[in-house]
A and B are shown apart, each in its own frame.
Chain A
Amino acid sequence: MRWKIALAYIILTGLTLFWILPYYVAVATSFKTLKEVTEAKYLEPPTTLCIDAYIKALREEGRGLLNSLIVSLPATFLSVLIGSLGGYFLARFRFRGAQLIFFLVAVATFIPYQILLVPLVQVMGALGLMNTYAGLIVTYTVLFAPWAALISSAFFMAIPKELEEAAMLDGAGPLRTFFMIVLPVAAPGIVSTTIIVFTSVWNDFLFALTLSMSPEIRPVQPTLAALKGSFVAEWNTQMAGAVLASLPPLVIFLLLGRYFIKGLLAGALKT
Chain B
Amino acid sequence: MPRKVSLIHFLLFLCPLLFCTIFLYLLIAWSVYISMVDWRGITPSWDFVGLQNYAQLFRLERFYIDLRNNALWLILFMVPTSALGLILAYIVEVTGRGETFFRTVFLYPAALSFVVSGTLWTWMYAEEGVINTILKALGLSFLAGKWIADPDRALYCLIFAAIWQYLGFAMVIYLAAIKGIQRSTIEAAILDGATGWKLFWYVVLPQIKHANLVVIPLLALSALKIFDLVWVMTMGGPGYATDVLAVFMWQAAFAQHFVSLGAAIAVVLFLLSLVVVIPYAKMALERWFK
Which chain A residues have a beta carbon within 8 Å of chain B's beta carbons?
A: 1, 4-5, 8-9, 11-12, 15-16, 19-23, 25-26, 29, 40, 42-43, 82-83, 85-90, 92-95, 98-99, 101-108, 110-123, 141-143, 145-146, 149, 161, 164-165, 168, 174-175, 178, 199, 202-206, 209-210, 221-222, 224-225, 228, 235, 238-239, 241-242, 245-246, 249-250, 252-254, 257, 260-261, 264-265, 268-271
A246 touching B116 in the complex, CB below 8 Å, given contacts A20-B105, A270-B176, A271-B288: yes
Contacts of B111 in A (CB 8 A): 199, 246, 249-250, 252-253, 260
Separation of A93 and B289 alpha carbons in the complex (Å): 11
Q: Are B116 and A245 in contact (CB under 8 A)?
A: yes
**In the complex the two chains form, is A21's CB within 8 Å of B130's CB?**
yes
Chain B residues near A141 (CB, 8 Å)? Answer: 20
Residues of B near any A CB (own CB < 8 A): 1-2, 5, 9-10, 12-14, 16-18, 20-21, 23-28, 30-31, 34, 44, 88, 91-92, 94-95, 100, 102-124, 126, 128-130, 133-134, 164, 167, 169, 172-173, 176, 195-196, 210-211, 214, 218, 221, 224-225, 227-228, 231-232, 245-246, 249-250, 253-254, 259, 262-263, 265-267, 269-270, 273-274, 276-278, 280-282, 284-285, 287-289
B108–A253 contact, CB under 8 A? yes
Name the B residues within 8 Å of A121 (CB-CB).
Answer: 254
Say whether B266 contacts A242, CB under 8 Å: no
Query: How far, in angstroms, from A116 to B262 measured CA to CA in the complex?
Result: 11
* Interface contact B27-A120, CB-CB below 8 Å: yes
On whether A114 and B246 interact (CB within 8 A), knowing A25-B124, A101-B18, A254-B104, the answer reads yes
- 6 closest pairs, A vs B, by CB? A86-B17, A203-B113, A89-B13, A253-B111, A106-B281, A119-B30
**CB contact between B114 and one of A22, A40, A104, A203 (< 8 Å): that residue:** A203
Can you list 27 residue pairs at the A/B interface with Cβ under 8 Å?
Answer: A1-B195, A8-B94, A15-B88, A19-B164, A22-B164, A85-B17, A93-B5, A101-B14, A104-B25, A107-B277, A110-B273, A113-B225, A114-B246, A115-B27, A117-B254, A118-B253, A122-B30, A205-B115, A206-B227, A210-B254, A242-B116, A245-B116, A249-B113, A257-B100, A260-B111, A261-B172, A269-B284
Contacts A16-B105, A254-B104, A257-B103 given; does A106 touch B95 at CB 8 Å: no
What's the minimum C-beta distance from A221 to chain B, rounded to whole angstroms? 5
The CA of A7 and the CA of B270, in the complex, are separated in Å by 44
CA distance A199 to B169 in the complex (A): 14
Closest to B271 in A: A115
- Given A225-B231, A228-B119, A249-B111, 5 extra CB contacts under 8 A: A1-B195, A86-B16, A86-B18, A92-B1, A246-B112
Assess whether A238 is in contact with B119, with CB atoms less than 8 Å apart: yes
Given A224-B116, A271-B287, verify A115-B123 contact (CB < 8 Å).
no
Contact of A115 with B119 in the complex, beta carbons under 8 Å:
no
State the CA gap A16–B105 with chains docked (Å): 6
User: Chain B: interface secondary structure?
Assistant: helix
Which residues from chain B contact A105 at a C-beta distance below 8 Å? 17, 21
Are A206 and B123 CB-contacts (below 8 A) given A114-B270, A146-B21? Answer: no
Report yes or no: B263 in contact with A239, Cβ–Cβ below 8 A.
no
Partner of B278 from A107, A116, A142, A199 at Cβ < 8 Å: A107
- A118 adjacent to B31 (CB under 8 Å): yes
Whether A143 contacts B285 by the Cβ 8 Å rule is no
**Cross-interface CB contact of A119 among B27, B246, B285, cutoff 8 Å:** B27
Residue among A85, A110, A264 making CB contact with B13, cutoff 8 Å: A85
Q: CB within 8 A of B259: which of A26, A118, A245? A: A118
Residues of B within 8 A of A199 (CB): 111
Report the Cα distance A82→B169, complex, angstroms. 26
Given A25-B123, A86-B17, A174-B13, verify A12-B115 contact (CB < 8 Å): no
B17 touches A115 (CB 8 A): no
Contact A269 B95 (CB under 8 A): no
Query: In the complex, what residues of A have CB within 8 A of residue B273's CB?
Result: 110-112
Q: CA of A90 to CA of B124 in the docked complex: distance in angstroms?
A: 46
Rounded to whole Å, the gap between the CB of B250 and the closest CB of chain A is 7
Query: In the complex the two chains form, what is the Cα distance from A118 to B207 in whole Å?
Result: 44
Residue of B with least CB distance to A166:
B1
**Distance between Cα atoms of A12 and B96 in the complex (Å):** 12
Given the known inter-chain contacts A174-B9, A235-B123, A257-B107, please indicate yes or no for A118 contacting B231, CB distance below 8 A: no
- State the Cβ distance, B245 to closest chain A Cβ, in Å: 8
Residues from chain B with a CB closer than 8 A to the CB of A21 are 124, 130
Check B250–A114 contact: CB distance below 8 A: yes
Known: A86-B13, A271-B288. A118 touches B34 (CB 8 A): yes
Q: Please, how many angstroms separate the alpha-carbon atoms of A168 and B121 in the complex?
A: 55
